[in-house]
């Protein structure tokens, strides 16, 4: 299976999964930096917001992976 044999839905799914994983990495770094702030109400809200953003990024990565796997099933799987 060459590069030109990939269906566009697979490329979309892989791209969405990569974007979701990158978002998780950036949000994890932001959470690490938020813990440097002295304990306060603002830090609590910031960590809660970052956790929500990380959950959304995880959802994007899961949906992208699911689309890729579904596209491979519809397309007949890998050919070798």
Q: Return the ∠ at Cα 51 (arms to 46 and 53), rounded to 5°.
A: 95
CA dihedral 73, 18, 20, 11 (to 10 degrees): -40
pLDDT in the model for residue 4: 57
Question: What does each of the 80 residues of the chain score in pLDDT, given as a tens digit?
Answer: 555 566 777 788 889 999 999 999 999 999 898 888 888 988 899 999 999 999 999 999 999 999 888 877 766 655 54
Query: Tokens representing 48?
Result: 């809660």
pLDDT in the model for residue 71: 77
pTM of the model as a whole: 0.76
What's the CA gap between 74 and 67, in Å, rounded?
10
């Amino acid at each position: 299976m060459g590069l030109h044999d990939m269906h566009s839905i697979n490329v979309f799914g892989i791209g969405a999964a990569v974007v979701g994983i990158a978002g998780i990495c950036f949000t994890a770094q932001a959470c690490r930096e938020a813990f440097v702030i002295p304990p306060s109400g603002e830090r609590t809200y910031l960590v809660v917001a970052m956790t929500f953003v990380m959950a959304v990024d995880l959802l994007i990565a899961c949906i992208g992976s699911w689309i890729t796997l579904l596209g491979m099933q519809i397309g007949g799987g890998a050919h070798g």
